[in-house]
Amino acid sequence: DGGITQSPKYLFRKEGQNVTLSCEQNLNHDAMYWYRQDPGQGLRLIYYSQIVNDFQKGDIAEGYSVSREKKESFPLTVTSAQKNPTAFYLCASSIDTGGNYEQYFGPGTRLTVT
Amino acid sequence: DQQVKQNSPSLSVQEGRISILNCDYTNSMFDYFLWYKKYPAEGPTFLISISSIKDKNEDGRFTVFLNKSAKHLSLHIVPSQPGDSAVYFCAASATQGGSEKLVFGKGTKLTVNP
Number of neighbours of residue B22 by Cβ within 10 angstroms: 17
pLDDT at A99 over 60: no
Position B7 scores a pLDDT of 93
Judged by CB atoms closer than 8 Å, whether chains meet at B104 and A105 is answered as no
Judged by CB atoms closer than 8 Å, whether chains meet at A42 and B104 is answered as yes
Q: Which residues of chain A have a CB within 8 Å of the CB of B99? A: 50
Burial category of B72 from C-beta neighbours within 10 Å (exposed 0-12, middle 13-18, buried 19 and up): middle
pLDDT, tens digit (0-9, with 9 covering 90-100), for B18-49: 999 999 999 999 999 999 999 988 899 999 99
Give the span between the Cα atoms of B86 and B71, in whole angstroms.
Answer: 24
Number of neighbours of residue B2 by Cβ within 10 angstroms: 12
**Beta-carbon contacts below 8 Å between A and B:** 60
Rounded to 5 degrees, what are φ and ψ at B37? -115, 135
Distance of residue A112 Cα from the nearest chain B Cα, in angstroms:
14
Evaluate whether A108 touches B43 at the Cβ level (below 8 Å).
yes
- Among the listed residues B37, B46, B34, the one whose alpha carbon sits nearest the alpha carbon of residue B95: B34
pLDDT, tens digit (0-9, with 9 covering 90-100), for A13-53: 999 999 999 999 999 998 899 999 998 788 999 999 988 99
Position A40 scores a pLDDT of 77
Q: pLDDT confidence of B102, banded at 50, 70, 90?
A: confident
Q: Which residues of chain B have a CB within 8 Å of the CB of A43? A: 44, 89, 104
Give the span between the Cα atoms of B40 and B82, in whole angstroms.
Answer: 15
Position A96 scores a pLDDT of 64
Position A100 scores a pLDDT of 60
β pairing state of A42-51 and A54-57? antiparallel
pLDDT at A101 over 90: no
Evaluate whether B102 touches A103 at the Cβ level (below 8 Å).
yes
Number of neighbours of residue A37 by Cβ within 10 angstroms: 23
Report yes or no: B46 at the A interface, CB cutoff 8 Å.
yes
Q: Which residues of chain A have a CB within 8 Å of the CB of B39? A: none
Position A41 scores a pLDDT of 81
> What does the DSSP assignment read for A24-79?
EE-S--SEEEEEEEETTTEEEEEEEEEETTEEEE-TT-TTEEE--SBTTB--EEE-
Number of neighbours of residue B66 by Cβ within 10 angstroms: 19
Judged by CB atoms closer than 8 Å, whether chains meet at B100 and A101 is answered as yes
Q: pLDDT confidence of A1, banded at 50, 70, 90?
A: low
Q: Which positions 26-65 of A are in contact with B (Cβ < 8 Å)?
A: 31, 33, 35, 40-45, 48, 50, 58
Position B98 scores a pLDDT of 59
Judged by CB atoms closer than 8 Å, whether chains meet at A90 and B51 is answered as no
pLDDT at B62 over 60: yes
